[in-house]
A and B are shown apart, each in its own frame.
Chain A
Protein backbone atom coordinates (compact mmCIF):
# COMPACT_ATOMS: atom_id res chain seq x y z
CA UNK A 1 0.00 0.00 0.00
CA UNK A 2 1.20 3.50 -0.78
CA UNK A 3 0.15 6.89 0.52
CA UNK A 4 0.58 10.04 -1.51
CA UNK A 5 0.57 13.39 0.22
CA UNK A 6 0.33 16.68 -1.67
CA UNK A 7 1.21 19.86 0.24
CA UNK A 8 0.54 23.30 -1.24
CA UNK A 9 0.73 26.84 0.02
CA UNK A 10 -2.70 28.20 0.90
CA UNK A 11 -4.15 30.40 -1.81
CA UNK A 12 -3.50 33.68 0.00
CA UNK A 13 0.14 32.93 0.79
CA UNK A 14 2.76 34.47 -1.49
CA UNK A 15 4.73 31.88 -3.43
CA UNK A 16 7.88 33.61 -4.71
CA UNK A 17 9.25 30.34 -6.11
CA UNK A 18 6.06 29.76 -8.10
CA UNK A 19 6.32 33.33 -9.40
CA UNK A 20 9.91 32.82 -10.53
CA UNK A 21 8.98 29.56 -12.27
CA UNK A 22 6.04 31.28 -13.94
CA UNK A 23 8.38 33.96 -15.26
CA UNK A 24 10.90 31.38 -16.48
CA UNK A 25 8.42 29.24 -18.37
CA UNK A 26 7.07 32.37 -20.07
CA UNK A 27 10.61 33.27 -21.11
CA UNK A 28 10.80 29.82 -22.71
CA UNK A 29 7.85 30.79 -24.85
CA UNK A 30 4.99 29.04 -23.05
CA UNK A 31 1.91 31.20 -23.13
CA UNK A 32 -1.54 31.13 -21.56
CA UNK A 33 -0.29 30.52 -18.03
CA UNK A 34 -2.20 32.50 -15.43
CA UNK A 35 -0.39 31.27 -12.32
CA UNK A 36 2.17 28.75 -11.04
CA UNK A 37 2.16 27.47 -7.46
CA UNK A 38 4.93 25.22 -6.20
CA UNK A 39 4.12 22.47 -3.73
CA UNK A 40 5.56 19.31 -2.24
CA UNK A 41 4.74 15.69 -2.93
CA UNK A 42 5.47 12.79 -0.58
CA UNK A 43 5.24 9.07 -1.25
CA UNK A 44 4.93 6.97 1.87
CA UNK A 45 5.25 3.22 1.48
CA UNK A 46 3.11 1.26 3.95
CA UNK A 47 3.85 -2.30 4.93
CA UNK A 48 0.22 -3.42 4.74
CA UNK A 49 -0.16 -4.13 8.45
CA UNK A 50 -3.14 -1.79 8.71
CA UNK A 51 -6.25 -1.48 6.56
CA UNK A 52 -6.89 1.38 4.17
CA UNK A 53 -9.07 3.31 6.58
CA UNK A 54 -6.49 3.19 9.39
CA UNK A 55 -3.73 4.03 6.93
CA UNK A 56 -5.65 7.10 5.80
CA UNK A 57 -6.18 8.25 9.37
CA UNK A 58 -2.54 7.94 10.35
CA UNK A 59 -1.25 9.53 7.14
CA UNK A 60 -3.74 12.41 7.55
CA UNK A 61 -2.32 12.94 11.04
CA UNK A 62 1.22 12.82 9.67
CA UNK A 63 0.32 15.35 6.99
CA UNK A 64 -1.34 17.66 9.48
CA UNK A 65 1.32 17.51 12.17
CA UNK A 66 4.57 17.11 10.26
CA UNK A 67 4.41 17.30 6.49
CA UNK A 68 2.47 20.56 6.34
CA UNK A 69 2.38 23.73 8.40
CA UNK A 70 -1.35 24.44 8.71
CA UNK A 71 -0.70 28.18 9.07
CA UNK A 72 0.55 28.46 5.50
CA UNK A 73 -0.19 25.14 3.78
CA UNK A 74 -3.03 22.79 2.81
CA UNK A 75 -2.61 19.08 2.21
CA UNK A 76 -4.38 16.25 0.41
CA UNK A 77 -3.91 12.53 1.05
CA UNK A 78 -4.42 9.70 -1.42
CA UNK A 79 -4.16 6.02 -0.49
CA UNK A 80 -3.30 3.48 -3.17
CA UNK A 81 -3.95 -0.17 -2.52
Chain B
Protein backbone atom coordinates (compact mmCIF):
# COMPACT_ATOMS: atom_id res chain seq x y z
CA UNK B 1 0.00 0.00 0.00
CA UNK B 2 1.24 3.46 -0.80
CA UNK B 3 0.26 6.85 0.56
CA UNK B 4 0.67 10.29 -0.93
CA UNK B 5 0.59 13.64 0.85
CA UNK B 6 -0.41 16.50 -1.42
CA UNK B 7 1.55 19.70 -1.01
CA UNK B 8 0.12 23.06 -2.04
CA UNK B 9 1.90 26.38 -1.68
CA UNK B 10 1.04 27.16 1.94
CA UNK B 11 0.44 23.62 3.20
CA UNK B 12 2.11 23.29 6.59
CA UNK B 13 0.98 19.98 8.06
CA UNK B 14 2.35 17.94 5.18
CA UNK B 15 5.44 16.83 7.10
CA UNK B 16 3.35 15.80 10.12
CA UNK B 17 1.17 13.60 7.91
CA UNK B 18 4.23 12.15 6.18
CA UNK B 19 5.84 11.42 9.55
CA UNK B 20 2.76 9.62 10.85
CA UNK B 21 2.43 7.43 7.77
CA UNK B 22 6.11 6.53 7.63
CA UNK B 23 6.70 6.12 11.36
CA UNK B 24 3.41 5.01 12.89
CA UNK B 25 1.67 3.32 9.99
CA UNK B 26 5.01 2.09 8.68
CA UNK B 27 4.12 2.36 5.01
CA UNK B 28 5.71 4.03 1.99
CA UNK B 29 4.64 7.62 1.46
CA UNK B 30 5.51 10.37 -1.02
CA UNK B 31 4.99 14.08 -1.11
CA UNK B 32 2.96 15.04 -4.18
CA UNK B 33 3.47 18.60 -5.44
CA UNK B 34 0.18 20.23 -6.45
CA UNK B 35 1.21 20.47 -10.11
CA UNK B 36 1.50 16.68 -10.44
CA UNK B 37 -1.37 14.86 -12.07
CA UNK B 38 -0.41 11.17 -11.93
CA UNK B 39 -1.80 9.48 -8.81
CA UNK B 40 -1.88 6.01 -10.35
CA UNK B 41 0.63 4.46 -7.93
CA UNK B 42 -1.19 5.52 -4.76
CA UNK B 43 -3.86 3.80 -2.71
CA UNK B 44 -4.66 6.74 -0.46
CA UNK B 45 -3.89 10.44 -0.53
CA UNK B 46 -3.92 12.90 2.33
CA UNK B 47 -4.75 16.56 1.75
CA UNK B 48 -3.00 18.13 4.71
CA UNK B 49 -3.69 21.17 6.83
CA UNK B 50 -2.23 24.60 6.35
CA UNK B 51 -3.09 27.73 4.47
CA UNK B 52 -3.01 26.75 0.81
CA UNK B 53 -2.71 29.89 -1.32
CA UNK B 54 -2.71 31.94 1.88
CA UNK B 55 -6.44 31.27 2.36
CA UNK B 56 -6.99 33.95 -0.31
CA UNK B 57 -10.60 34.41 -1.46
CA UNK B 58 -11.94 31.64 0.82
CA UNK B 59 -10.07 28.90 2.69
CA UNK B 60 -9.47 26.11 0.19
CA UNK B 61 -11.02 27.99 -2.73
CA UNK B 62 -7.92 28.41 -4.88
CA UNK B 63 -6.30 25.03 -4.13
CA UNK B 64 -9.26 23.47 -5.84
CA UNK B 65 -7.95 24.77 -9.18
CA UNK B 66 -4.49 23.23 -8.80
CA UNK B 67 -3.80 20.57 -11.47
CA UNK B 68 -3.64 17.78 -8.89
CA UNK B 69 -7.24 18.33 -7.80
CA UNK B 70 -8.65 17.06 -11.05
CA UNK B 71 -6.72 13.86 -10.47
CA UNK B 72 -7.90 13.72 -6.85
CA UNK B 73 -11.52 13.82 -8.07
CA UNK B 74 -10.90 10.93 -10.44
CA UNK B 75 -8.93 9.11 -7.75
CA UNK B 76 -11.93 9.43 -5.41
CA UNK B 77 -14.36 8.34 -8.14
CA UNK B 78 -12.29 5.21 -8.68
CA UNK B 79 -12.94 4.26 -5.05
CA UNK B 80 -9.51 4.97 -3.65
CA UNK B 81 -9.15 6.82 -0.37
CA UNK B 82 -8.88 10.55 0.28
CA UNK B 83 -8.38 12.04 3.73
CA UNK B 84 -8.68 15.82 4.06
CA UNK B 85 -7.49 17.32 7.32
CA UNK B 86 -8.38 20.91 8.31
CA UNK B 87 -7.47 22.93 5.21
CA UNK B 88 -7.78 19.62 3.38
CA UNK B 89 -11.42 19.39 4.54
CA UNK B 90 -12.01 22.96 3.35
CA UNK B 91 -10.50 22.10 -0.04
CA UNK B 92 -12.66 18.96 -0.39
CA UNK B 93 -15.80 21.02 0.30
CA UNK B 94 -14.77 23.74 -2.15
CA UNK B 95 -14.05 21.06 -4.75
CA UNK B 96 -17.51 19.55 -4.27
CA UNK B 97 -16.12 16.19 -3.12
CA UNK B 98 -17.87 16.73 0.21
CA UNK B 99 -21.09 18.68 0.78
CA UNK B 100 -21.39 21.90 2.77
CA UNK B 101 -18.87 24.60 3.54
CA UNK B 102 -16.62 25.80 6.35
CA UNK B 103 -17.07 29.40 7.38
CA UNK B 104 -15.56 31.70 9.99
CA UNK B 105 -15.68 30.38 13.56
CA UNK B 106 -18.71 31.54 15.53
CA UNK B 107 -16.53 33.62 17.87
CA UNK B 108 -14.18 34.85 15.13
CA UNK B 109 -11.01 33.65 16.84
CA UNK B 110 -8.42 31.32 15.46
CA UNK B 111 -8.72 28.38 17.87
CA UNK B 112 -5.72 26.23 18.72
CA UNK B 113 -6.74 23.74 21.38
CA UNK B 114 -7.23 20.09 22.22
CA UNK B 115 -10.89 19.13 21.82
CA UNK B 116 -12.89 15.94 22.18
CA UNK B 117 -14.67 14.33 19.28
CA UNK B 118 -17.02 11.37 19.35
CA UNK B 119 -16.67 8.75 16.66
CA UNK B 120 -20.21 8.49 15.32
CA UNK B 121 -19.75 5.47 13.08
CA UNK B 122 -17.38 2.56 12.63
CA UNK B 123 -18.72 2.11 9.14
CA UNK B 124 -16.00 4.03 7.35
CA UNK B 125 -12.55 3.05 6.08
CA UNK B 126 -11.14 5.67 8.45
CA UNK B 127 -12.86 4.50 11.66
CA UNK B 128 -13.38 0.77 11.24
CA UNK B 129 -10.89 0.01 14.00
CA UNK B 130 -12.68 2.33 16.43
CA UNK B 131 -15.85 1.53 18.31
CA UNK B 132 -18.70 3.94 17.57
CA UNK B 133 -19.22 6.20 20.57
CA UNK B 134 -15.51 6.33 21.41
CA UNK B 135 -14.16 9.72 22.39
CA UNK B 136 -10.88 10.89 20.86
CA UNK B 137 -8.84 13.81 22.15
CA UNK B 138 -7.42 15.61 19.13
CA UNK B 139 -6.23 19.19 18.57
CA UNK B 140 -7.89 21.73 16.34
CA UNK B 141 -6.18 24.78 14.82
CA UNK B 142 -8.39 26.85 12.57
CA UNK B 143 -10.27 30.09 12.04
CA UNK B 144 -12.71 28.72 9.46
CA UNK B 145 -14.01 25.46 10.85
CA UNK B 146 -17.66 26.33 11.32
CA UNK B 147 -19.42 23.67 9.27
CA UNK B 148 -22.58 24.79 7.50
CA UNK B 149 -24.96 23.00 5.17
CA UNK B 150 -28.64 23.22 4.24
CA UNK B 151 -31.36 21.18 5.95
CA UNK B 152 -31.59 18.68 3.12
CA UNK B 153 -27.85 17.97 3.21
CA UNK B 154 -27.95 17.54 6.98
CA UNK B 155 -30.84 15.08 6.66
CA UNK B 156 -28.91 13.10 4.05
CA UNK B 157 -25.75 13.07 6.16
CA UNK B 158 -27.72 11.74 9.12
CA UNK B 159 -29.78 9.23 7.20
CA UNK B 160 -26.75 7.86 5.38
CA UNK B 161 -24.62 7.71 8.55
CA UNK B 162 -22.04 10.04 7.04
CA UNK B 163 -21.35 12.21 10.08
CA UNK B 164 -18.15 10.56 11.24
CA UNK B 165 -16.99 12.88 14.05
CA UNK B 166 -18.84 15.32 16.30
CA UNK B 167 -17.45 17.68 18.92
CA UNK B 168 -18.37 16.48 22.41
CA UNK B 169 -17.41 16.91 26.05
CA UNK B 170 -14.82 14.58 27.63
CA UNK B 171 -17.61 12.14 28.57
CA UNK B 172 -18.82 11.95 24.97
CA UNK B 173 -21.95 14.07 25.35
CA UNK B 174 -22.75 16.38 22.46
CA UNK B 175 -23.27 19.83 23.97
CA UNK B 176 -23.25 23.38 22.65
CA UNK B 177 -20.48 24.21 25.14
CA UNK B 178 -18.31 21.51 23.56
CA UNK B 179 -18.82 22.98 20.09
CA UNK B 180 -15.69 25.09 19.59
CA UNK B 181 -16.59 26.87 16.38
CA UNK B 182 -20.37 26.85 15.92
CA UNK B 183 -20.49 23.93 13.49
CA UNK B 184 -23.95 22.76 12.61
CA UNK B 185 -24.92 19.77 14.76
CA UNK B 186 -21.38 19.81 16.28
CA UNK B 187 -20.06 18.29 13.04
CA UNK B 188 -16.27 17.84 13.05
CA UNK B 189 -15.95 15.42 10.14
CA UNK B 190 -18.03 13.84 7.38
CA UNK B 191 -17.59 11.36 4.56
CA UNK B 192 -18.98 11.18 1.05
CA UNK B 193 -21.74 8.80 -0.03
CA UNK B 194 -19.23 6.17 -1.26
CA UNK B 195 -17.50 6.53 2.15
CA UNK B 196 -14.00 6.69 0.64
CA UNK B 197 -13.52 10.44 1.10
CA UNK B 198 -13.32 11.85 4.63
CA UNK B 199 -12.84 15.45 5.72
CA UNK B 200 -12.34 16.57 9.30
CA UNK B 201 -11.24 19.79 11.00
CA UNK B 202 -9.31 18.22 13.92
CA UNK B 203 -5.70 17.16 13.32
CA UNK B 204 -5.27 13.44 14.02
CA UNK B 205 -1.71 13.62 12.67
CA UNK B 206 -0.84 15.92 15.58
CA UNK B 207 -2.20 13.37 18.06
CA UNK B 208 -0.09 10.32 17.33
CA UNK B 209 2.53 10.53 20.07
CA UNK B 210 2.01 10.61 23.84
CA UNK B 211 4.73 13.23 24.01
CA UNK B 212 2.42 15.59 22.12
CA UNK B 213 -0.42 15.15 24.58
CA UNK B 214 -2.46 12.47 22.86
CA UNK B 215 -2.03 9.48 20.61
CA UNK B 216 -5.74 9.05 19.86
CA UNK B 217 -5.27 10.15 16.26
CA UNK B 218 -3.36 6.97 15.45
CA UNK B 219 -6.57 4.96 15.44
CA UNK B 220 -7.76 6.84 12.36
CA UNK B 221 -4.58 6.09 10.41
CA UNK B 222 -4.58 2.49 11.68
CA UNK B 223 -8.14 2.06 10.46
CA UNK B 224 -7.20 3.32 7.01
CA UNK B 225 -4.14 1.05 6.94
CA UNK B 226 -6.32 -1.93 7.95
CA UNK B 227 -8.76 -1.08 5.17
CA UNK B 228 -5.95 -0.95 2.64
CA UNK B 229 -4.37 -4.16 3.93
CA UNK B 230 -7.70 -5.96 3.56
CA UNK B 231 -8.14 -4.60 0.02
CA UNK B 232 -4.73 -5.77 -1.22
Nearest B residue to A40, CB-CB: B57
B residues 86-138 in Cβ contact with A at 8 Å: 93-94, 99-101, 103-108
3 nearest interchain CB pairs? A71-B101, A72-B101, A16-B108
The count of residues in chain B whose C-beta lies closer than 8 Å to any C-beta of chain A is 20
Specify which chain B residues have a CB less than 8 angstroms from the CB of A72 in the assembled complex: 101, 103, 148
By a beta-carbon cutoff of 8 Å, the part of chain A in contact with chain B is 9, 13-17, 20, 66-67, 69, 71-72
Given known contacts A13-B148, A17-B108, is B100 in contact with A71 (CB within 8 Å)? yes
Q: Which residues of B contact A66 (CB under 8 A)?
A: 57, 61, 65
Docked CA distance A19–B101 (Å): 20
A12 to B74: give the CA distance in the assembly, Å: 33
Prevailing SS type, chain B contact patch:
loop
Chain B positions within 8 Å of A, measured between CB atoms, are 57-58, 61, 65, 93-94, 99-101, 103-108, 146, 148-150, 182
Whole-angstrom distance between the Cβ of A46 and the nearest chain B Cβ:
20
Q: A13-B148, A14-B146, A14-B182 are in contact. Are A69 and B106 (CB under 8 A)?
A: no
Residues from chain A with a CB closer than 8 A to the CB of B93 are 71
How far does the alpha carbon of A69 sit from the alpha carbon of B150 in the complex, in Å? 14
When distances are taken between beta carbons in the complex, the residues of chain A under 8 Å from B58 are 69
CB <8 Å contact, A16 and B105 = yes
When distances are taken between beta carbons in the complex, the residues of chain A under 8 Å from B146 are 14, 16
Nearest CB on B from A78, distance (A) = 19
One of A16, A20, A71 near B149 (C-beta < 8 A): A71
Report chain A residues within 8 Å CB of B99: 71
> In the complex, what residue of chain B is closest to A12 when comparing beta carbons?
B150
CA distance in complex: A67, B182 (Å):
24
Scoring A15, A20, A66, A69 by chain B CB atoms within 10 A of each residue's CB, the highest score goes to: A69
Judging by beta carbons under 8 Å apart, are B104 and A17 in contact?
A: yes
Residues in B with CB closer than 8 Å to A17 are 104, 108
